């Protein structure tokens, strides 16, 4: 992800987009708005799993989902990043969860059925933002554009752009498309958008505890979702960044500087794909930079809402799992204990989600 500090030099236009004060990512205000073309390498594959995606059906809320039995587990870890620990015991109740991130095709079914428009497709409300021009209020979202040479890693405006016309249908800008990419994870979805999709199906987004418990796949106190061995160069385990960030992704995992179709890497012990890398995933918990805290029971959020003190009165939800932008040298948050905060009023080209369902009991369900 990115270092958590505020760039007060952000342009007025960027500051107008998608947040109360500015469109943010990981707590850092980003650079000027742009329509520049993004040269995204063509993906090496457009699908990886047979029968995926399973089209959502509100009449069948658990269709295609995996059931996970409740248990107590150690959440968090000895912190690699300050907000990750300490480890503490948490109990989650049983729940169902999507085996993959929600895909473009699945989200398109929801949009067709409901007419829903994401935050990135809507202009800012002139009543809420009376000092902005119509141009400054036009729809936009955050797009990763990379860098041509080594840059200051404390300045993510060097590799991100607030881009008018970028949204889930046009993930790399207004001239891009998701045609042929139905099996890719949907991105540019804000927390509000992800929740709307989940509620349409009678579901919810996972709590941070549910997400982390599911991501661990039955393993206890392991650094990665597959165990303690670091991801191999010859046999990658997730879609992450290999190379000098943000200049060049060598693509040794088969994908360069962008998402991969869901399910291209081996699932964890519960049969869940892409719980590390590819795209970040929303949870319902509010972010507390001091750590996940103790005493969170039954997979719920803390009783006291936690707000990042650097962003007073703006609730920022936890995102988990890391993304295709994470490497060992930068970010390193494709571990189950890792966590950061998502943009409070928007999305980005590396944030997606999956859903959970808590309404049915399956007493004989085994862990996958």
How does pLDDT run across 297-311, given as a tens digit for each residue? 333 333 233 334 444
How does pLDDT run across 49-67, given as a tens digit for each residue? 987 778 999 999 999 999 9
From the list 253, 245, 248, 243, the residue with the least C-alpha distance to 43 is 253
Q: What is the per-residue DSSP string for 109-168?
A: HHHHHH----GGGSPPPTTT-TTS-TTTTS-EEEEE---SS---TT-GGGTEEEEET-BT
Whole-model pTM?
Answer: 0.84
Looking at residues 221-238, what average pLDDT do you find?
Answer: 86
Q: Across the chain, what does the average pLDDT equal?
A: 81
Greatest CA separation for the chain? 58
**Lowest pLDDT segment from 2-6, 63-67, 258-262, 324-328:** 2-6
Q: Is the pLDDT of residue 252 over 80?
A: yes
Between 218 and 292, residue with greater pLDDT: 218
Sort 148 into a burial class: Cβ within 10 Å, 0-12 / 13-18 / 19+: exposed
């Amino acid at each position: 992800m990115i270092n958590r500090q505020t760039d007060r030099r952000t342009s007025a236009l960027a500051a107008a987009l998608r947040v109360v004060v500015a469109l943010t990512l990981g707590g850092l205000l980003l650079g000027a708005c742009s329509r520049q073309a993004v040269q995204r390498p063509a993906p090496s594959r457009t699908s990886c799993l047979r029968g995926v995606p399973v089209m959502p059906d509100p009449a069948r809320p658990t269709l295609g989902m995996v059931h996970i039995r409740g248990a107590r587990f150690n959440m968090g870890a000895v912190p690699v990043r300050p907000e990750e620990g300490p480890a503490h015991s948490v109990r989650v109740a049983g729940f169902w969860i999507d085996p993959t991130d929600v895909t473009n095709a699945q989200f398109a079914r929801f949009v067709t059925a409901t007419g829903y428009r994401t935050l990135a497709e809507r202009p800012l409300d002139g009543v809420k933002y009376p000092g902005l021009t119509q141009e400054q209020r036009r729809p936009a979202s955050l797009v990763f554009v990379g860098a041509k040479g080594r840059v200051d890693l404390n300045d993510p405006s060097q590799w991100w752009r607030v881009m008018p016309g970028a949204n889930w249908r046009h993930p790399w800008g207004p001239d891009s498309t998701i045609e042929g990419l139905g099996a890719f994870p949907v991105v540019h979805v804000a927390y509000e958008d992800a929740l709307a999709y989940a509620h349409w199906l009678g579901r919810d987004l996972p709590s941070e505890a549910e997400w982390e418990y599911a991501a661990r796949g039955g393993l206890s106190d392991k650094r990665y979702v597959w165990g303690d061995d670091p991801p191999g160069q010859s046999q990658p385990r997730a879609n992450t960044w290999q190379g000098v960030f943000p200049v060049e992704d060598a693509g040794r995992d088969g994908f360069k500087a962008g998402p991969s179709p869901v399910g291209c890497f081996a699932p964890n012990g519960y049969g869940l794909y892409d719980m590390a890398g590819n795209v970040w995933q929303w949870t319902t918990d509010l972010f507390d930079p001091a750590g996940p805290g103790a005493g969170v029971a039954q997979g719920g959020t803390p009783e006291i809402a936690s707000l990042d003190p650097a962003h007073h009165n703006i609730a920022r939800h936890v995102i988990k799992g890391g993304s295709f932008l994470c490497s060992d040298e930068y970010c390193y948050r494709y571990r189950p204990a890792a966590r950061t905060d998502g943009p409070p009023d928007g999305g980005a080209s590396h944030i997606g989600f999956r859903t959970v369902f808590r309404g049915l009991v399956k007493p004989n369900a085994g862990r996958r």
